[in-house]
Amino acid sequence: MLLYFAMPRGDTKPLAKALINRYGSFANVLAAPKQALLETRGLGVHSVAALKLVQAAALRLAQGEVIERPILDTWNRLLEYLTAAMAREKTEVFRVLFLDSKNRLIAAEALARGTVNHTPFYPREVLKRALDLHATALILVHNHPSGDPSPSWADIEITRMVKEAAAVLSVTLHDHLIIGNGRWLSFRSEGIL
């Protein structure tokens, strides 16, 4: 139906089926890189724009479920939002959720993009941004494109560094989440934090 609205002439079912077969699911089609979609035979600028519009709207709806509410009270909604936003990324993305004194979301920002298995980021940049936003708490989040949310030694070490630096500035690090494909890991739940 979505393709039909963007391409009202002709049967769009074969193209829709081909896209789902290629990417594995409707969600994966929406999350596919814009350039890859543009290179797909049968898709044009308007149909790709329609797909990306639906993806952006879905992320806004999911984000709306966690904004202005205490994050720790809406944990499942937060995980749904983060999974929708990050699980299908092809490279690692490091995000920080900046919270106010009532644990409400001030901002959710991608601070670094990396490769398929590494994202360099710097604790001082995280804390500088926290101070700029007057955040009193943080949740670190990154994805593992492999789908396996198991933390690496580097993940554990950088979390320790951020926690220690944040404590000096009276900023609390609530958790570090790793988002896999359909799975996630919480450092706090695992006793790592």
For residues 88 and 148, the model is more confident at: 148
Q: Taking the model in full, what pTM does it have?
A: 0.66
Residue 62's pLDDT is: 65
pLDDT score of 96 more than 80: yes
Residue 87's pLDDT is: 74
Q: What is the pLDDT of residues 117-166, one digit of tens each?
A: 767 788 999 999 999 999 999 999 998 988 889 998 989 999 999 999 99
- pLDDT tier at 68, thresholds 50, 70, 90: low
- Per-residue three-class SS string for the chain: CHHHHHCCCCCCHHHHHHHHHHHCCHHHHHHCCHHHHHCCCCCCHHHHHHHHHHHHHHHHHHHHCCECCEHHHCHHHHHHHHHHHHCCCCCCEEEEEEECCCCEEEEEEEEEECCCCCCCCCHHHHHHHHHHHCCCEEEEEEECCCCCCCCCHHHHHHHHHHHHHHHHCCCEEEEEEEECCCCEEECCCCCCC
Residue 8's pLDDT is: 63
